[in-house]
Structure 1
Amino acid sequence: MPATRPVPATRPAPVEPAGGWVVIFSGTPWRVGAHRQHALARQLAGDRRVLFVDPPGLGANWRTTVRQAADRIWYVTPPAVLPAGRWLPPVNRLNRWVAAAVLRRWLDRRPGTRLLWIDEDLAAPAIGHLDEAAVVYDATDLDWTFSRRCNRWHLRAGLRAAVRAADLVLASSSALPERLPTASRPAVVLANGCDPTRFTLQGPTTPWLRHLPRPVLGYLGAVDTRAFDADLVAAVARLRPEWTFLLVGPSTRAGRAPLAGLPNVRLYDPVPFDDAPAILRGCDVGVIPYRVGGLVDYVHPKKCYEYLAMGKPVVATPIPALAALDAPILLAATAPEFVAAVERALVSAGRPEEVARRRAVAERNSWSVRGEQLRGLLDGLGAAR
């Protein structure tokens, strides 16, 4: 019998993961990792592949860097051939076209239908340049409110273009749709959420919080003049000097100014998102003292759900999204009302039935619930599957 030769082993060709692509042009870099864009990207990665595109910097950058961030998620530092695109519309268009061309070549080597997702208004020029099957515009903020007056027209033009081209417009707050340009289809509210598995009742407490005079009223967020009402906080702090106001986050000089000289107001620098639960566990009440009627009173602060997930009572000013929210929170517009609301909150702070009720609201508004809602909307769109 002739000798038989073993069949040489062959290495199987690499197989791309199933599912279409969602290309997210975001106004927030991936490395920040703790915002709505990142939470929804992780939800989308359940049955799709996600290419998360960081916003370009102010300077020129001729390199394109693609890194895998997680299973089925890649993030990109895109090229910007000229600087100052945020301020100069022709430069912004050129940079976005170049970035789209580079990303399209990368995607052409990885088959799958493409859904273009935009939450940064200045990314509107990329629409139509990625061979996308559909476009989603996610209104997380009104970008023009973050810019100087001289540049707002540029950002508002991008907002109009993105809304006009979108097959689906999402809004992070029930107060946002009326502030958006007219779209061919009504905006769908997909509110912010939280991660109750991260903000749990059990776990460590930041040690230095144990030495603060109680009660401790905690706030995690920016101390500025756009959203934060420092005048209200200062007035409440003067009415109740025995209370400690713990403000953790970035701050501006103008935002801090009304709080100067108040010994019961403690300001701390931003902390990593992973440290937030340990800080909240050491607080007695979570507060959201936002300006009502200001530039950003359309927001739906996800910190509300994070406070509730920790079982903490919440006292907030009646910004539209919170005023319409079906949740066990207390609303107060003036300093005396805020004092009374906090006093009511402290009475029920540790009651097990109230803690469970707050926690249940957070569970109903988790990012996983939002992910289910989002997948239903995209299935109806019939794209990127």
Structure 2
Amino acid sequence: MAEQGPQQSLATLPTPAAGPPVDGRDWVVIFSGTPWANGAHRQHALARELTVDHRVLFVDPSGHLPRWRLQVELVADDLWHTAGPALLPFGRHLSPANRVNRWLAAFLLRRWLRRRSASVRLLWLDEDLAAPVATRLGEAAVVYDATDLDWTFTRRWNRPHLRRALRSAVGAADLVLASSTALPERMPVSDPPPVVLPNGCDPDRFSPAGPVAPWLTGLRRPRIGYCGAVDTRAFDAELVAAVARAHPEWTFLLIGPSTRAGRAPLVRLANVELVDAVRFVDVPSILRACDVTIIPYRVGGLVDYVHPKKCYEYLALGKPVVATPLPALRALADTIRLAGDAESFAAAVSDALDEAGVPHEADRRRELATRNSWSARGVELRALLAGLPR
């Protein structure tokens, strides 16, 4: 996206890009902490669900560098996207800079919407730092969707800034959603209290019937699959390494971006295959080649509040799932296996391999995933939004 030099004033800001025709439908403006280009997350799925009865404008988080031009593009039916404008750098770290950037974003978006005679019903926040935009777009109501605790993603010195932003976002909301049953107790008190709207999946995309990545045919079976980041924040590489050493006859296929520290315990293990990040569209074809899927997340740290959406994606493929006992996954213990240490995790994988080819078990897993599809979440969401001001 083009950027303007620091000498440019608000009086000379570029005219916003041409947009949609006026049709009288209310708008939802989403300030997301995840860019639209990373389009495989909860934010993107719920944005699409909101287009059932609204027009939606999805706003990326502000970057570290100034970006003064507002360019809006149509990315799907009734769904538009723009990169978040920013006047000053370091808004993620400095409260005054963040407030200025959000003022600029609200100014440009309000002008873009006004030129289309657009009425904003909902301001949707899943980025804590976007809280200063509340009330600036003339919205009827504010929704805050807690997908993560943003302050856990930053260094200790910056956490107070982001925790203040979280309190502001929760305090501005008429409806607070949480992606995990373990999140509300870790959030500021809100009135009304948070409503848990768990993550979901796309059962059609993750159908068992489909192609298998041909490059996997040479890997020895059984194959134990994982898709996600291999890091030190959430992924328990020591656990996986211990299980891999105890079972050299298993092949561990770990798909996703990795950090140096995250992959360090695994790199010398002959039965561990580390595959760099792949396109989301290619993930199902890789996981179809696996016999068992795993979620080896750390428990008891900063991130054990998560509800990994990969769990439902694994289940939609009909695959057995073995996970560490994250609080949000304990309710699924009658369908997935939970194990907290290397010995019990290995035993759970062994048991899962024994039932990997049992058709009625695969059908049961897929049925659970279908009940937790994003379209099902959309129905729940629209029922919740019906009670908000219009």
TM-score range for the pair, normalised by the shorter chain length = over 0.9
After TM superposition, the structure 1 = structure 2 runs for residues 306-385 of structure 1, keeping only pairs within 5 Å, are: 306-325=313-332, 328-383=335-390
Tell me which residue corresponds to 2:295.
Answer: 288
Deviations 1:236-263 (CA, angstroms, capped at 9, x unpaired) = 0011011011001011111111113111
Deviations 1:105-139 (CA, angstroms, capped at 9, x unpaired) = 11112322421000001111111111111000000
Tell me which residue corresponds to 2:10.
Answer: none
Tell me, in whole angstroms, the C-alpha distance in 2 between the residues paired with 1:197 and 1:277.
10
Tell me which residue corresponds to 2:280.
Answer: 273
- Provide closer, same or farther for how the CA distance between residues 71 and 162 of structure 1 changes in structure 2, counting only shifts above 3 A: same
Work out whether residues 327 and 361 of structure 1, in 8 Å CA contact, stay in contact via their aligned partners in 2: no
Work out whether residues 145 and 177 of structure 2, in 8 Å CA contact, stay in contact via their aligned partners in 1: yes
Pairwise CA RMSD: 1.1
Tell me, in whole angstroms, the C-alpha distance in 1 between the residues paired with 2:330 and 2:105.
41
* Partner residue of 1:131 out of 122, 127, 138: 138
- Consecutive unaligned residues of structure 1, counting only runs of 5 or more, are 1-13
Tell me, in whole angstroms, the C-alpha distance in 1 between the residues paired with 2:208 and 2:237.
29
Tell me, in whole angstroms, the C-alpha distance in 1 between the residues paired with 2:85 and 2:346.
51
Tell me which residue corresponds to 2:98.
Answer: 92
Tell me, in whole angstroms, the C-alpha distance in 1 between the residues paired with 2:334 and 2:41.
22
What SS does structure 1 have at the residue aligned with 2:34? coil
Tell me, in whole angstroms, the C-alpha distance in 2 between the residues paired with 1:116 and 1:253.
39
Work out whether residues 18 and 48 of structure 1, in 8 Å CA contact, stay in contact via their aligned partners in 2: no
Tell me which residue corresponds to 2:63.
Answer: 57
Tell me, in whole angstroms, the C-alpha distance in 2 between the residues paired with 1:136 and 1:312.
35
User: How many pairs does the alignment contain?
Assistant: 370
Question: 1:53 Cα shift?
Answer: 0.3
Question: 1:102 Cα shift?
Answer: 0.6
What SS does structure 2 have at the residue aligned with 1:324? helix
- Consecutive unaligned residues of structure 2, counting only runs of 5 or more, are 1-19
Greater Rg by CA: 1
What SS does structure 2 have at the residue aligned with 1:337? helix
Which of structure 1's runs of 4+ aligned residues deviate more than 6 A? none
Tell me, in whole angstroms, the C-alpha distance in 1 between the residues paired with 2:248 and 2:354.
19
What SS does structure 2 have at the residue aligned with 1:300? coil
Amino acid paired to 2:162: L
Work out whether residues 137 and 166 of structure 1, in 8 Å CA contact, stay in contact via their aligned partners in 2: yes
Tell me, in whole angstroms, the C-alpha distance in 1 between the residues paired with 2:312 and 2:85.
37
Deviations 1:264-292 (CA, angstroms, capped at 9, x unpaired) = 11101100000001001100001000001
Tell me which residue corresponds to 2:236.
Answer: 229
Tell me, in whole angstroms, the C-alpha distance in 2 between the residues paired with 1:72 and 1:174.
31
Tell me which residue corresponds to 2:13.
Answer: none
Q: TM (normalized to structure 2)?
A: 0.93
Tell me which residue corresponds to 2:41.
Answer: 35
Amino acid paired to 1:278: S
- Provide closer, same or farther for how the CA distance between residues 326 and 265 of structure 1 changes in structure 2, counting only shifts above 3 A: closer
Amino acid paired to 1:181: P
Tell me which residue corresponds to 2:157.
Answer: 150
Question: 1:15 Cα shift?
Answer: 5.5
Quick one: percent identity of the two aligned structures?
A: 67
Q: TM (normalized to structure 1)?
A: 0.94
